[in-house]
Every structure is written in structure tokens, then in C-alpha cells.
């Protein structure tokens, strides 16, 4: 595979099986995830989506230089991901590298405009993970796979989800955190200090803080 992936994108790539007729790389930016999936033949068709026009035109120029790819293998879309209309069943929708709040807005809007029942969604979001997990639980999403990925000093929760099929999603991902692992412990402690600061003014944050603290006592 020509496209080089960092650790987080590599972990995301490895969570994806060869089972999707098409993949939506929403918020694609550099397009590395979609390109890697095409190069490795994990899917036949990638829809690259980003809301910034210059990102899509740069990606277009980059793709034109890849001789192995032909134009039937991809579409390039300058679009707010919230407005995507899905084209088929059994596609994978990747929402990676955005905040949890942005991921919520995108999924909420996709649900209104599409039937998401026969699609998987892969999320790699930062921040607002409690809000994101609560939103997914409320909307009957279930877990197919999850992992905690580390790149540099940052931890990222990766969630592969589907409507109505799979395991229950835990509101704080307590089943994901292995506190005997130093990087996991540091990830948990960062969350705890974040919610300690917020809980001075915010009752929900106080509740979330207690949930995270309980992981220490398990
Ligand atoms: C940090 S990059 C993520 C790149 C890649 N997906 C990854 O995980 O490394 C975030 C990208 O999301 C795009 N973006 C943010 N909100 C979006 C939205 N609602 N619709 C489409 N693109 C969006 C930004 O323009 C930016 O290019």
C-alpha cells in the first residue's frame, strides 16, 4: 500500500473488514483513509466528502496522479457531511478526525435524511465522548467493535457501530479502559481532570466525573 498511515488511521484501517460495497470518507481532508482502502482493495468505491472546496480540489489533483486508480472507483464531493444522501445498502460511513459534537450533528442529520439501518458507522472523535455515546445510546446504535488508539500523547476512542445490532454501548466506555496499561490510565486521568474542572458549575459533569472515577475502583 502506497499511502502511509499514522497510528490512529492505521488502527481505523485495521477495524475495517472487506465487507462493504462502498465507503463514505466523510470529513476526508487529505483522503488518506479512503485512498488506503482503495489501494488495499478493501472496497471498490469510495466517496470522499469534505466541506472545504480547496481540500477537495487538492485531493482531486493528488488522485489524478495515481495511475492505478480509475474514476469509477471514487467520487469527490464538496459538501457538508450533514447533507449526504447515501446511495446503497451495506456501506460504511467513516466520520474520523472531528470533535464528538460535530460527529453528533452529522449522524443526527444523516438519520433524518437516510435510513441508516443497513449501514455501519466508524467514528474516531475527540472530546465530548460522553455526549456522543449518550446520543448513540438514545438512538439505538449498538457496538460492533471498539478500541482505544494512541498517537503521540493523545488517546482516541474508535467506535464501529450499527443501528439495532450488536453490543450495548457503555456511556463512558468503561469496558475499553484497561487501567493497568499506563497510556489507558493517563487517558482516564485526563478525562477525570477535565470533568473535575467542569463539575464546579455543571451537574451533568459531576455525574460523568463520578462514572469515570468508578473505573479506578473496579
Ligand atoms: C482533522 S481533519 C480529519 C481528516 C481525516 N478524516 C482523519 O481522520 O485524519 C477534519 C476535516 O473535517 C472537515 N469537516 C469538519 N466538519 C465537516 C462537515 N460537517 N462536513 C464536511 N467536512 C467537515 C474539515 O474540513 C477537515 O478537513
The ligand 1 site (C-beta within 6 Å) comprises 9, 27-29, 33, 49-52, 55, 80-82, 96-98, 102, 106, 124
For residue 97, the CA-to-ligand 1 centroid distance in Å is 6
Say how far apart CA 151 and CA 201 lie, in whole Å. 32
- pLDDT digit string, tens, across residues 46-100: 999 999 999 999 999 999 999 999 999 999 999 999 999 998 889 999 999 999 9
Say how far apart CA 204 and CA 193 lie, in whole Å. 15
Q: Which residue among 9, 27, 30, 35 has the greatest number of ligand 1 atoms within 8 angstroms of its CB, and so is best to mutate?
A: 27
Output the pTM of the full model. Answer: 0.97
Q: Which atom of ligand 1 is nearest to the CA of 80?
A: 20
User: pLDDT tens, position by position, for the chain (218 residues)?
Assistant: 789 999 999 999 999 998 899 999 999 999 999 999 999 999 999 999 999 999 999 999 999 999 999 999 999 999 999 999 998 889 999 999 999 999 999 999 999 999 999 999 999 999 999 999 999 999 999 999 999 999 998 999 999 999 999 999 999 999 999 999 999 999 999 999 999 999 998 999 999 999 999 998 77
For residue 103, the CA-to-ligand 1 centroid distance in Å is 10
First to last CA, the chain: 42
Q: What residue owns the CA closest to ligand 1's atom 9?
A: 97
Beta strand 120-126 with 46-50: parallel, antiparallel or unpaired?
A: unpaired
Amino acid at each position: 500500500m502506497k499511502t502511509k498511515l499514522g497510528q490512529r488511521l492505521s488502527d481505523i484501517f485495521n477495524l475495517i473488514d472487506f465487507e462493504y460495497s462502498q465507503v463514505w470518507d466523510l470529513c476526508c481532508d487529505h483522503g488518506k483513509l479512503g485512498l488506503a482502502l482503495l489501494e488495499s482493495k478493501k472496497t471498490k468505491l469510495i466517496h470522499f466528502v469534505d466541506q472545504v472546496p480547496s481540500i477537495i480540489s487538492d485531493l482531486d489533483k493528488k488522485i489524478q496522479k495515481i495511475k492505478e486508480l480509475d474514476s469509477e472507483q471514487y467520487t469527490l464531493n464538496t459538501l457538508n457531511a450533514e447533507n449526504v444522501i447515501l446511495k446503497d445498502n451495506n456501506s460504511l460511513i467513516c466520520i474520523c478526525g472531528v470533535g464528538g459534537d460535530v460527529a453528533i450533528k452529522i449522524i443526527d442529520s444523516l438519520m433524518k435524511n437516510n435510513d441508516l439501518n443497513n449501514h455501519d458507522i466508524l467514528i474516531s472523535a475527540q472530546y465530548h465522548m460522553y455526549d456522543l455515546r449518550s446520543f448513540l445510546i438514545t438512538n439505538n446504535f449498538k457496538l460492533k467493535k471498539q478500541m482505544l488508539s494512541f498517537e503521540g500523547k493523545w488517546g482516541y476512542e474508535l467506535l464501529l457501530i450499527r443501528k439495532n445490532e450488536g453490543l450495548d454501548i457503555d456511556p463512558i466506555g468503561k469496558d475499553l479502559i484497561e487501567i493497568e496499561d499506563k497510556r489507558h490510565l493517563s487517558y482516564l486521568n485526563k478525562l477525570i481532570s477535565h470533568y473535575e474542572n467542569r463539575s464546579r458549575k455543571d451537574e451533568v459533569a459531576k455525574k460523568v466525573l463520578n462514572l469515570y472515577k468508578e473505573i479506578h475502583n473496579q
